[in-house]
Structure 1
Amino acid sequence: MASGVVVDDGVVKAYEEIKVHHRGEVQCDRLKLVMFRLSDDDKSIIVDEENSLKMKDVADVDDVFSKLVSMFPSKDCRYALYDCCYRTKETEKEDLVFIMWAPDEAPLKKKMLYASSKGALRKKLPGLKIEWQVNDLADAKDSSVLIEKLGNRGMIKELEGKQM
């Protein structure tokens, strides 16, 4: 908590909800993307309810990856958890990807606050294996950078149902 920013309890609740798939849970009601932002007073990290998606929100989307990227603001920072579905040569997989979105167009003070608060947030979200930091829209213009984070280009055959 080097920045003095605290993590709201709603963030931990959202993490548990996206991480654990409950028996009998309806697939389309599961979370696909949970976005987090700083509160208006910059003192806590909260769930950005308006920019979170459920599986049903992307059910009819041809390019889920592009839809997710379009959710991020062009001039402000965000954190996100993305429930990424992909297929390797051997099996289908799902992994939670922690994203730190800090575009070049965001104010420097905001980028510094997000960067210094990331550690406090990560401590509240144990067990995440994959982290993706995006500093420029070019980093997210296509899925190749994410695919490298998931394994490697030759290993990943599909991302969100789309052939690679």
Structure 2
Amino acid sequence: MASGVIVDDGVVTAYNEIKVHHAGEVVGDRYKLVMFRLSDDDKSIIVDEENSVRMKDIEGEGEVFKRLIEKFPLNDCRYALYDCCYRNKDTEKADLVFIMWAPDEASLKKKMLYASSKGALRKKLQGLKIEWQVNDLSDAKDSSALIEKLGSRGSIKELEGKTV
């Protein structure tokens, strides 16, 4: 907690909800993307429900990845967990991707606060193996940077049901 920012209990609850799928749960109610932001007083990390996406919100969507990227603000930072579905040469996979969104248009103060608070958040979100740092919208509009994090362009065949 180098920044002194604390992690709200709701963040851990949302992490457990996106991480574990329970038998009998309604698939549409699951998170596809859960977004986190600093509270208005910059003292805690909270769930950004307004920009989080549930499976039912993208049902029938042809461009799932593009739709999710559109939820990130152009001039402010965010953290997010993305339940990423992809196919490699052999199997379908799903991994949680931790996203640190710090666009060039965000204020330097915000970028520094988010960067210095990331460690406290990561401590609460144990077990994440994929992290994607996005500093510019062009980094996110093309899925190739994410595909490199998942494996490589040669090994990943589909992302969110679309051939890559």
What range describes the TM-score normalised by the shorter chain of this pair?
over 0.9
Per-residue displacement from partner, 1:35-68 (whole Å, max 9, x unpaired)? Answer: 0000000000000010001111111211111111
Encode CA deviations 1:104-157: one digit per residue, 9 max, x unaligned.
000000000000000000000000000000000111111100000000101111
Aligned equivalent of 1:81: 81
Once superposed, what is the RMSD of the aligned Cα atoms?
Answer: 0.5
Secondary structure of residue in 2 paired with 1:127:
coil
Number of residue equivalences: 164
TM-score w.r.t. length of structure 1: 0.99
- Is 1:113 the counterpart of 2:113? The answer is yes
SS where residue 34 of structure 1 aligns?
strand
Aligned to 2:66: 66
Letter in structure 2 aligned against 1:45: I
The residue type equivalent to 1:58 in the other structure is I
For structure 2, the residue ranges without an aligned partner over 5 or more in a row are none
Q: Which amino acid aligns with 2:71?
A: M
Counterpart of 1:25 in structure 2 is 25
Q: Which amino acid aligns with 1:160?
A: E
1-side partners of 2:44 and 2:26: how far apart? 31
- How far is 1:28 from its partner? 1.6
Q: Equivalent residue for 1:10? A: 10
Cα distance in 2, alignment partners of residues 121 and 105 from structure 1: 23
| 1:42 maps onto 2:42 in alignment | yes
Report the counterpart of residue 51 of structure 1 in structure 2.
51
Hey, what does 2:102 align to over in structure 1? 102
**Secondary structure class of the residue paired with 2:23:** coil
2: CA distance, partners of 1:118 / 1:140: 20
Q: State which drifts further: 8-17 or 25-34.
A: 25-34
Partner of 1:130: 130
